[in-house]
Amino acid sequence: MLVHVALSLLAACGGDTPRAPDGPPVSVLLVTLDTTRPDHLSAYGYARPTSPALDALARRGVRFDDAWSHAPETGPSLATVLTSRLAPDTRVRGNAEKLAPSLPTMATVAKGAGRATAAFVSTTLLRRAACAFDRGFDVYDDEMTDPCFGHPAAQRIAVRTIDRAEAWVAEQRAAGRPYFAWVHLYDPHGPYDPPEPAPVLDATRHLVPERRVARNQIPPYQHLSPFREPFSDAADFADRYDREIAYADRHLGRLLAAIDPATTLVVVHADHGESLGEDEYWFRHGNLLHDAALRVPWILAGPGLPRGLAVSGDVRMVDLAPTALALAGLPPLPDAAGNDLSAAARGDAAPPRSELVAEARRREIVGDAYAIDVRWKIRVRSPGFDATVWPASGEHRGCDAGAARGLLERLAPWRVTPPGEAASDESGAALRSLGYR
């Protein structure tokens, strides 16, 4: 089994004291954009206007400029987001593995505090049978209606997911019920095939240079016909990726217009990024640990937060739940691995320096593992756990033995914990048929 593990050993961490906001109970709207790079959002300065709704949200809120995911795959990344636990605890080491049944989540905490709870997800990877993320949600809407990967119903495009979420939010507002809602939008994930009418963007202003990519350089799920054999233009892929983001943002804008901004904390992030040619990886993410696959957007807006604040300094998706719960005045997750960054979000403190660990696996290749931090990569050979260590950038050359031992010690919990329960036979078979395993 090939395991990629990423480590960022930055320093000791500090903690912030949660402060409940004054006033009425705060609702939470958590929005996950699948496969969305911050540098392709105009909210983060991208030259193309891909995200007018998020631009407006960032103007009335806070933008973390250096946010990192713990996995370049949907399941493991979101298991950490929902629980503020890392993979050795969530037991979700890859897609189609079920969340450890005993762990509290943002949803169980919110429900325990009296919030109405609902999730609206948009990929078959997040069906309850595949991931068991539904605990704590009164409503877990995982009905897939749209074709993907050659399967007739493996995703749900944003217009339909947002319709469902918008109706549910309107019900809660009409009843005066504070809520916790999680909305996941899958559109930016490949294949890049934006539903019409998708926004049209200026073709001259995207970041990916003109480059011909061969069919065998991109994953099969990105093969759209007609593929201009034997090569296709990378810029064309990038344009369609941007238009998927713009399409998702357009519909997200409807939902953001339907909430009460005075009483709702909005949290927008991505589960992971996407490689658009970095290190010669094209339009993929699932087994990559470079910046393009791990760097994610994170924007918050709501009561008690400053307007238009940009926060620099590394923060992590494991910090999202402690931060959101504190800002909403909800109880903390017990034994959370992340930091409450509410003081940083309010502009009162810099983010504490903290450790980032990320992991990716490729089950089709047996025997190797990789680890990386901001400074180092490690390739670990299973099961003996001997390691080759080299700087994350530059030539492959070893580090000193002491540093290598320190890095390996940090990886030990990741290496001894078995994977979690696999998805049910039916769900697992469906996912395998889609090329996931």
Which residues sit at the interface with Zn ion, rule CB under 5 A? 34, 74, 271
C-alpha closest to that of 128 among 159, 164, 101, 148: 101
CB of 229 to Zn ion, least distance (A): 29
Cis before 226 (ω within 30): yes
User: What is the arrangement of strands in the sheet containing 386-391, beginning at the earlier edge strand?
Assistant: 356-362, 2-8, 368-372, 376-381, 386-391
**CB neighbourhood size of 398 (10 A):** 12
**Nearest-5° angle of CA 395, CA 397, CA 400?**
140
Say how many residues make up the chain.
Answer: 437
Q: What is the gyration radius of the CA atoms in the chain, in angstroms?
A: 21
Residues whose CB falls within 8 Å of the CB of residue 401, separated by 6 or more in sequence, listed in order? none
Count CA within 13 A, CB hemisphere, residue 183. Answer: 31
Specify which residues 275 forms β-bridges with: 284
Q: How far is the CB of 120 from Zn ion (least distance, A)?
A: 16
Minimum CB–partner distance for residue 142 and Zn ion (Å): 15
Quick one: 136 or 286, whose CB is closer to Zn ion? Answer: 286
Give 71 or 129: the residue with its C-beta nearer to Zn ion: 71
**Residue 96: CB minimum distance to Zn ion, A:** 13
Q: Which is nearer to Zn ion, 318 or 330 (CB)?
A: 318
**Whether residue 24 has a cis bond before it, omega within 30° of 0:** no
Q: How far is the CB of 282 from Zn ion (least distance, A)?
A: 17
**Beta carbons within 8 Å of 409's beta carbon, 6+ residues apart:** none
C-alpha span between 427 and 141 (Å, rounded): 16
Nearer to Zn ion, 271 or 314 (CB): 271
CB of 296 to Zn ion, least distance (A): 10
Q: How far is the CB of 270 from Zn ion (least distance, A)?
A: 8
Residue, CB closest to Zn ion? 74
CA distance 309 to 39: 17
40 or 379: whose CB is closer to Zn ion? 40
Task: Quickly tell me which residue has 């931060």 as its tokens.
Answer: 323
